[in-house]
Structure 1
Amino acid sequence: MLTNLHDILFNISRNPDVDKGDLMASSRLLLSSIAQGLEIDRASVWLLSDDRMQMRCIYLLDCAEHHPEPNMALARADFPRYFAALDGERNIVASDAHQHPQTSEFSACYLTPLQICSMLDTPIHHHGAMVGIICLEHCQAKLWNNDEITFASFLADIYGRALSASERVRYQNELEQLNSGLEQIVSQRTQQLTQSLEQLQQTQHRLIEVEKMASLGRLVAGIAHEINTPLGIAVTANSHAEATLLELEQLFHANQLTRQRFAHNGNAIKNCIAMVNANLQRTVDLVNSFKQTAAASSEQKKAENLQLNRFIPDVLSSIESILKQHHVEVQIHIPESMQVQSYASPLALILTRLIENACVHAFNTEQKRQVIIRTSQNKHSWQLEVRDNGRGMDKHELARAFEPFFTTRRSAGAKGLGLTLVFNLVSHLLQGEISLHNADTGCVVTLNCPLQLTTNEP
């Protein structure tokens, strides 16, 4: 290749403008270099459409005049032999373009009006496919030598590099626009989610307050109902005793009191007093149960390290009479070395209430009655499971089991506060969770408590 052509190629290959992605600037640079190196009249860049049925000129250099994006296009239907030659992706070298079989189609409509005699079209490749041509044209007959053809081919390859840069810049701009759009969408969605979260939190807060008030209302109504019954009986019995005593006084002052009448009214007063005492005692027991339930999380107690395989048998021995009364057998499965941090008295109360609850409510037949106590632990928590082989509970009972005053044996004197007390002790004092579900036979109560309690002790 001629030295000056080699130098031109070297300078163009190192020119940073080729890789900036500006196709017009790259076309201007390459066509100016072609005109300078080959001393031809015209040079242009043409790109094929996506369907390869048309080719459009995107830059024209005509006798040193630059024409970006001239209004020039060629259709495959009008020049079939020329496009068929392009499909072969080879250089079209025509010293006499009017007579050349691949370019003669341009003679009347293109070559003659522009006074073009010779043509050299070299393909532009991008991503391995031909996407267009660099067209070199001269008004006089010109024999294109190998150096000139090679020079044009090198410039076509450099133009392929410019196409890649343009594509990269376009993708980058699209990506930036997409990112900008995504950032805007994310910002809008974040704002919407924040507003939705705030509304949800407000709604949740309102629902919690409503539920608190509803729970408080149910609690107050339950307390009022439970206390009102024995107090009402006591008031009625006391009124009857007062009326009976007044009758005795009137008979005494009228000297009409007989031994039989005195004995009859005396027995009535004794019965009233006994009824008043019994119902007042029931009221006292109810109030103590309320206090015990409410004090579950407020009393200051000291946590201890409890050896469960010793602690639980001691608790069971204290309620042995209850187990014998209801003919219940208790089995325990406790790892020998299992030790947990907990509160001895509340934990004993929890276990006692759970077993008493099973004895009273779980069994309704003369089957072999069993309660199984099982403990286990993992890295952060320990579990206590109390399982019976009784009748189980229906969905309604399971859903309301921990509610205050809910009981299925109110007629037998049950107050419905046992599991409520257990729930409060486990949740607040032992800092754990309690669950209740049916097994194949009977119910299973499971406590899940942390190995180390968080305390406010100094």
Structure 2
Amino acid sequence: MHIVLVEDEEGHAELIRHAFRSRASVTLHTVSTLQEARQTIAESVPDLVITDLMLPDGRGIDLLPSQREQLEFPIIVMTSHSGEEVAVEAIKAGALDYVIKSEVTLADMPHIADRALREWQYIAERRQAQQALRKSEELYRTTINTIDGVVYVVDRELRCVLYNEKMAQWAFQAGCKGDLTGKELFEVCPFLPLQIREEYAQVVTTGKPLISEKAIPFDQQTVWTEAHKIPIFDETGEVSRILTTIFDITQRKRTEEEIRRLNKELESRVEERTVELEHANQELRHSVDTLERMQEHLVQAETMAALGELVAGIAHEINTPVGVGITAASHLDLQTREIAARYHSQRMKRSQLEHYLQDAQRSSTLILKNLQQAAELINSFKNLAMHQGDEEARWFPIKQHLNDILLSLNPKLARSQHQVTIHCPDDLAIKSYPGVVTNILTNLVMNSLSHGFEDRSKGTITIEVSIDDTSWHLHYHDNGKGIHSEHLAKIFHPFFTTKRFQRQKGLGMHIVYTLVTQKLRGTIECQSTPGEGTSFRIHAPLQLE
């Protein structure tokens, strides 16, 4: 331990040195002036400084920085004169202890130093804890400010403890300005329904999260919200705080209402031709129900994207063929009524009948084509929902299975000069879902054919399979044109495609992601460089139960 003693009275200095002689681990460096002390400290920061208050060239407390946070070592101040004002001044300046010189106190200086060092250690630990807490709070605030929704934490009395910028904006628009910390929730947001109090009481009582949807008046309009109330427990296991996240689902509600309106309109206007369309609508309603069930898992696990985006994507994709079909059916209905009226009134000409038949043929073809397109969209979404049947996990040789998959794809591959190579031990077996593996590899190969090798007559696909003690790994690589960086981050998003004009639905890679992460309980990552090809790496458990 390195201690600097600043004392201009040699007798006092000798008493202190004598007191420390029994401490072999202590190095005591004695100086007699403020200047010497500063020079010694600059050369090596000590563990402790013991200084006389009055020195030939100044006062000992002048060694203390103006800001306590800048102090790098503890200081004990000594004086030959007692006085409360001097002691208060020294302590305020940052000294850890104030000692009145006497034979007893100087002889006891090692114990006084021990006490000061313990206090300094406590202060240092407290500073570190405070700094860590500040960093943690800053990180937490930064994190919640990136969430596209209102986030806040309240205590059991519903007083705000923490909140993000969106919450502050809500409060500001409600007339509540300034810091919200400590303010009651309904003072901050008076537009919230009173029944929310009961929901918070339920969370406190049961200790379980609560999800609710509500229409609230906000900014002169009605906003549909989805709120998640999550309990936070203290060290005794009691609910001390509640974390709340609120998301605007108005657009999702409008989309659902629009879907209901379209369904009703279709049923009333083209009832005689809606057998297939009604089946498609039933599939769509079933898919929406499935999405709502998926949403709870997606939100809680913070995966991929919110259900509102998916539902909006479905509605956007299906609105076009349905809208065209309705228009064509309405036109055909009108033409039929007109030709029927002419027929019954015996005013129908042959040319008018021929024109009607041509028009009816075109309209019927258009209706059938768009109904088929809508059905294809809904069937694709059924795949997204992972209706994989009742297949059970079983052991199977992976190389043979991959060869069988490629054999089934031979009609597609045979039309090109593309080559597929598999590197996998013949005896390697995994316990998994063969049908899921088939779906995954089929989508990867079709993605390479339609995107990677779009402008290439001859490409190469390489598939490598390996295992370790607990997992199996599949590395899929094509040497196609690759994926641009702005598209790479979206490759697993639902409905993302660069070939919308070619009626690509953009579900293939999302289906692959869903199958790998949910069915195989694994992970998948994509790497690509434009002009050099694309790689997918899949890691999954070797044995699924």
TM-score band, normalised by the shorter chain?
A: 0.5 to 0.7
Partner of 1:232: 323
Mapping 1:17-416, distance limit 5 Å: 50=31, 169=111, 171-189=113-131, 191-192=133-134, 195=137, 199=141, 215-295=306-386, 301-416=391-506
Identity fraction in percent: 30
Q: Distance in 2 between matches of 1:193 and 1:300?
A: 49
> Shift of the alpha carbon at 1:270?
2.2
Amino acid at match of 2:487: E
1:442 pairs with one of 516, 522, 533? 533
Q: Distance in 1 between matches of 2:318 and 2:373?
A: 8
Task: Give CA deviations for 1:75-112 in whole Å, capped at 9, x if unaligned.
Answer: 9xxxxxxxxxxxxxxxxxxxxxxxxxxxxxxxxxxxxx
Amino acid at match of 2:370: N
> Shift of the alpha carbon at 1:306?
2.6
TM-score under structure 1 normalisation? 0.58
Q: Distance in 1 between matches of 2:494 and 2:401?
A: 29
Give the secondary-structure state (helix, strand or coil) at the position aligned to 2:314: helix
Give the secondary-structure state (helix, strand or coil) at the position aligned to 2:483: coil
Partner of 1:32: none
Q: Distance in 2 between matches of 1:209 and 1:387?
A: 42
Q: Distance in 2 between matches of 1:370 and 1:49?
A: 79
Q: Is 1:230–1:280's contact at 8 Å kept on the other side of the alignment?
A: yes
Per the alignment, do residues 202 and 346 of structure 1 end up closer, same or farther by CA in structure 2, a change over 3 Å counting?
same
Per the alignment, do residues 285 and 384 of structure 1 end up closer, same or farther by CA in structure 2, a change over 3 Å counting?
same
Q: Whose relative contact order is higher, 1 or 2, with alpha carbons under 8 Å and at least 6 apart?
A: 1
Q: Distance in 2 between matches of 1:420 and 1:167?
A: 72
Q: Is 2:526–2:537's contact at 8 Å kept on the other side of the alignment?
A: yes
> Shift of the alpha carbon at 1:250?
2.4
Amino acid at match of 1:431: R
Give the secondary-structure state (helix, strand or coil) at the position aligned to 2:524: strand
Per the alignment, do residues 187 and 360 of structure 1 end up closer, same or farther by CA in structure 2, a change over 3 Å counting?
closer
Q: Is 2:462–2:477's contact at 8 Å kept on the other side of the alignment?
A: yes
Task: Give CA deviations for 1:391-417 in whole Å, capped at 9, x if unaligned.
Answer: 111112212211111111112121111
Amino acid at match of 1:332: I
Per the alignment, do residues 200 and 301 of structure 1 end up closer, same or farther by CA in structure 2, a change over 3 Å counting?
farther
Q: Is 1:389–1:443's contact at 8 Å kept on the other side of the alignment?
A: yes
> Shift of the alpha carbon at 1:360?
0.9
> Shift of the alpha carbon at 1:337?
2.1
Amino acid at match of 1:359: L
Q: Distance in 2 between matches of 1:364 and 1:448?
A: 28
Give the secondary-structure state (helix, strand or coil) at the position aligned to 2:127: helix
> Shift of the alpha carbon at 1:369?
2.1
Per the alignment, do residues 413 and 342 of structure 1 end up closer, same or farther by CA in structure 2, a change over 3 Å counting?
same
> Shift of the alpha carbon at 1:193?
5.5
Q: Is 1:358–1:388's contact at 8 Å kept on the other side of the alignment?
A: yes
> Shift of the alpha carbon at 1:227?
0.3
> Shift of the alpha carbon at 1:205?
6.8
Per the alignment, do residues 442 and 165 of structure 1 end up closer, same or farther by CA in structure 2, a change over 3 Å counting?
farther
Q: Is 1:23–1:166's contact at 8 Å kept on the other side of the alignment?
A: no
Q: Is 2:475–2:538's contact at 8 Å kept on the other side of the alignment?
A: yes
Give the secondary-structure state (helix, strand or coil) at the position aligned to 2:414: helix
Q: Is 2:423–2:463's contact at 8 Å kept on the other side of the alignment?
A: yes
Amino acid at match of 1:384: L
Q: Distance in 1 between matches of 2:461 and 2:132?
A: 53
Amino acid at match of 1:442: G
Q: Is 1:437–1:444's contact at 8 Å kept on the other side of the alignment?
A: yes
Amino acid at match of 1:280: L
- The more displaced of 185-194 and 335-344 is 185-194
TM-score under structure 2 normalisation? 0.49
Per the alignment, do residues 299 and 167 of structure 1 end up closer, same or farther by CA in structure 2, a change over 3 Å counting?
farther
Give the secondary-structure state (helix, strand or coil) at the position aligned to 2:489: helix
Task: Give CA deviations for 1:316-335 in whole Å, capped at 9, x if unaligned.
Answer: 11121122234432111112
> Shift of the alpha carbon at 1:291?
2.0
Gaps of at least 5 residues in structure 2 are 1-13, 20-28, 34-55, 57-103, 150-244, 249-298
Q: Is 1:435–1:447's contact at 8 Å kept on the other side of the alignment?
A: yes
Per the alignment, do residues 194 and 225 of structure 1 end up closer, same or farther by CA in structure 2, a change over 3 Å counting?
closer
- The more displaced of 265-274 and 171-180 is 171-180
> Shift of the alpha carbon at 1:170?
5.3
C-alpha RMSD over aligned residues: 3.6
Q: Is 1:326–1:359's contact at 8 Å kept on the other side of the alignment?
A: no
Q: Distance in 2 between matches of 1:377 and 1:209?
A: 44
Task: Give CA deviations for 1:148-189 in whole Å, capped at 9, x if unaligned.
Answer: xxxxxxxxxxxxxx9x99675455334322222234334434
Per the alignment, do residues 49 and 191 of structure 1 end up closer, same or farther by CA in structure 2, a change over 3 Å counting?
closer
Task: Give CA deviations for 1:192-241 in whole Å, capped at 9, x if unaligned.
Answer: 46655665675577669759697433322221111011101111111222
Q: Is 1:434–1:447's contact at 8 Å kept on the other side of the alignment?
A: yes
Task: Give CA deviations for 1:260-284 in whole Å, capped at 9, x if unaligned.
Answer: 4433322321221122112111111
Q: Distance in 2 between matches of 1:312 and 1:214?
A: 31
Q: Is 2:471–2:541's contact at 8 Å kept on the other side of the alignment?
A: yes
Q: Distance in 2 between matches of 1:450 and 1:177?
A: 53
Q: Is 1:385–1:445's contact at 8 Å kept on the other side of the alignment?
A: yes
